[in-house]
Structure 1
Amino acid sequence: MNDDKIISLQINRKDFEEVYFSGTSGSLFFSSATKGKTVTTLIVGLILAILFIFKDDFSKEKFGILYFVSFLFLLCVIFLSVAINKVSRWKKEVIAYLKTLENAEIYQIKFNKKIFTVNINNAKETCLWTEFTSAEAGEKFIALEGKYNYMFPQKSMSAADYEILKQAVKKNIK
Structure 2
Amino acid sequence: MNDDKIINLNVSKKDFEEIYLKGNQGSLFFSPTVKGKFITTVVVATILVILFFFKDDLSKEKFGILYFVSFLFLLCAVYLSLAINKVSKWKKEVIQYLKTLENTEIYQIQFNSKVFKVNLNDNKETSLWTEFTAAEISNTFIGLEGKFNYMFPKKSMQEADFELLKQAVQKNVQK
For this structure pair, what is the TM-score category when the shorter chain's length is used for normalisation?
over 0.9
**Equivalent residue number for residue 8 of structure 2:** 8
For 2:143 and 2:4, how far apart are their aligned partners in 1?
20
The alignment yields a C-alpha RMSD, in angstroms, of 0.8
User: Partner of 2:135 in structure 1?
Assistant: 135
Q: Which residue of 2 aligns with 1:94?
A: 94
Q: Runs (4+) of structure 1 moved beyond 6 Å?
A: none
Paired amino acid for 1:136:
E
C-alpha separation in 2, matches of 1:22 and 1:139: 14
Show the 5 A alignment for 1:116-131.
116-131=116-131
Gaps of 5+ in 2: none
Identity rate of aligned residues, in percent?
A: 70
The answer on 1:41 being equivalent to 2:45 is no
Q: Equivalences for 1:42-57 in 2 at 5 Å?
A: 42-57=42-57
Structure-2-length-normalised TM-score:
0.97
Say whether residues 1:156 and 2:156 are aligned partners. Answer: yes
Kindly provide the amino acid, as one letter, of the partner of residue 159 in structure 2.
A
1:59 matches 2:66 = no
What displacement does 1:90 show? Answer: 0.2
- Deviation of 1:67 after TM superposition, in Å, equals 1.3
CA drift at 1:64: 1.5
Please report how far the alpha carbon of residue 65 of structure 1 lies from its aligned counterpart in structure 2 after TM superposition.
1.0
What 5-or-longer segments of structure 1 have no aligned partner? none
Q: Which amino acid letter does the alignment assign opposite residue 60 of structure 1? A: K
| 1:144 alignment counterpart | 144
Q: How many residues align?
A: 174
* CA shift for structure 1 position 137: 1.3
